[in-house]
Amino acid sequence: MTRIWGVWQKIVTVENCRAAVRKEAQTKRCKRNGFALDLILREDYWTKYVFDRITSGLRLGGFIEFDTMEHGKLRHVRCYEPKDAMCVRACVQQMEPRAYARMSRHSYCPVPDRGGLLLATELSRRIRRAENVCRIWNKGHPNARNKWRAWVSEYDMAGYYESLGYSLMRDTMWRLFGEPEVRNLIEVFLGHRDGLPIGAGYSAMVANMVLAPMDALVEGHKGCLGYARHLDNSAYITKAKGAAHEIREAVEEWCAERGLTAHEWAHYPAGHHAVERGGWRIEGDRILPGRKVMRHIERLMSRKWDELDYRQMLALASLYGYIKNSDAQGLKRKWRDGKYSQIFKAVGITAKEAEGGVLTINPEKERNIP
């Protein structure tokens, strides 16, 4: 008979702890301060260190705070020092598969392999499919009093990370994990405090799982023809305006019960407006950078690359994913003609790292680049 291992049994294995050490050694933070070499040379020692800390009752220190450039925006991040980060990584990498398996497949970033571009592609396909469904129904019911028409609705969560209550996060995660040891780890991560720190290693998992019931609520409505969520930004497609407002009332009630606020609502017929989600704009079959992103790119590209300061270079490099994957061919020509690829060399990153969209500000580089 095959033994079914729980999450805790998967966490407290030497192989899992070793994988966490190796992944931490690959981070730019460890490489920059020279700690990565020590992790590689003394891999067995640090594997045992992580294993002992988790099994003896994990305790975490304070956060390290620094700035990153995320898709052209300056973001303040709080993360653990490498010794604590390895322990968090060893736990989370075994918790995430169970958590994400219970999440809607139409919920995207920052879940691995579910970025904003995939969301825009899927949402574009669903809008066209919804329009086709409505067209076929109307053709088959020419005498119907009310014709179907695809409506798109959008909304955001106000101050989502900061507004999450401790009890809400704990109860959500406890419903997923019944093992006492894993629940103790969740208590350590959440630290009996409201709000989630961005960049702590477990934040994306918790933030996504809190909204998982809302995904089921929207998708389960009989009038919903499509749904997509990009962390706290959501969009759904309905076959009538009335259904769109019914879902809105249900979502607002759900949020109010949990101390959350859904705001910036917008309802409009499909095809009348471009849909913007996850930093991308959907115009028919074309997928372009969002209006704010486009203005930011054009403002930076209006100057030559050697006239940009360090933070402007880093901002433009972090927007490279939008330029490369966009259907706007003009952006690609401007990038090539302006020789902006030299920015990668100037700020010390690769094109692959830039395409990820999240870059850490290096104080040494910032001092050397005027």
- pLDDT, tens digit, 9 for 90 and up, residues 30-49: 887 789 999 999 999 999 99
94 confidence band (pLDDT: 50, 70, 90): very high
Percent of residues, the chain, with pLDDT higher than 70: 97
Residue 106 lies in a domain: yes
**Are 296 and 324 in a shared domain?**
yes
Residue 113 sits in a domain whose CATH number is 3.30.70
269 & 311 share domain: no
Q: Which pLDDT band, with edges at 50, 70 and 90, does 341 fall under?
A: confident
Contact 227, 127 (CB under 8 A): no
Q: What angle do CA 230, 232, 237 make, to 5 degrees?
A: 60
251 and 295 in a common domain: no
5-14, 207-216, 352-361 — which is least confidently predicted? 352-361
Residues 134 and 225 grouped into a single domain: yes
Check pLDDT > 50 for residue 146. Answer: yes
Query: Whole-model pTM?
Result: 0.87
In a domain, 71, yes or no: no
Is pLDDT of 29 > 50?
A: yes
- Answer yes or no: is pLDDT of 2 > 80: no
Residue 73 three-state SS? strand
Instruction: Give yes or no for residue 4 having a pLDDT over 50.
Output: no
What residues form DSSP beta bridges with 277? 280
| Same domain, residue pair 169 and 221 | yes
pLDDT at 3: 40
Q: Among residues 256, 285, 314, which one ends one of the domains?
A: 285
Considering the domain architecture, whether residues 229 and 299 belong to the same structural domain is answered as no
**How far apart, in whole angstroms, are the C-alpha atoms of residue 115 and residue 112?**
7
pLDDT given for residue 363 in this prediction: 80
Mark whether 158 and 259 lie in a shared domain.
yes
Closest by Cα among 29, 184, 156 to 95: 184
DSSP character string of 303-358: S-GGGS-HHHHHHHHHTHHHHHH-S-HHHHHHHHHTTTTHHHHHHT--HHHHHH-E
pLDDT(370) > 80: no
pLDDT of residue 111: 66
- Of 238, 257, 285, the position where a domain reaches its end is 285
Residue bearing the bigger pLDDT, 113 or 230: 230
If one counts every other C-beta atom within 10 angstroms of the C-beta of residue 274, the result is 14
Give the pLDDT score at 121. 87
Residue 195, SS3 per DSSP: coil
Residue 334 belongs to what domain range? Answer: 290-368
My answer on whether 89 and 198 are in the same domain is no
pLDDT of residue 276: 85
pLDDT confidence tier of residue 216, bands split at 50, 70 and 90: very high
Among candidate residues 253, 285, 317, the one where a domain is terminated? 285
Q: What is the pLDDT of residue 1?
A: 31
Confirm whether 253 is domain-assigned: yes
- Tokens 């705070």 identify what position? 65
The reply to whether 128 and 111 lie within a common domain is yes
Q: Is 72 domain-assigned?
A: no
- Residue 206: pLDDT band with limits 50, 70, 90: very high
Alpha carbon 28 to its chain's center: 20
219: tokens are 């998708």
Q: Is the pLDDT of residue 319 over 70?
A: yes
Would you say residue 338 lies in a domain?
yes
Task: Note the pLDDT tens digit of each residue in 101-119.
Answer: 888 888 887 666 677 888 8
Same domain for 115 and 28, yes or no, is no
Number of independent structural domains in the chain? 3
Look at residue 256 and tell me whether its pLDDT is greater than 70. yes
Q: Is 240 domain-assigned?
A: yes
Q: How far apart are CA 53 and CA 49, in angstroms?
A: 6
* Higher per-residue pLDDT: 65 or 170: 170
Residues 156 and 264 in one domain: yes
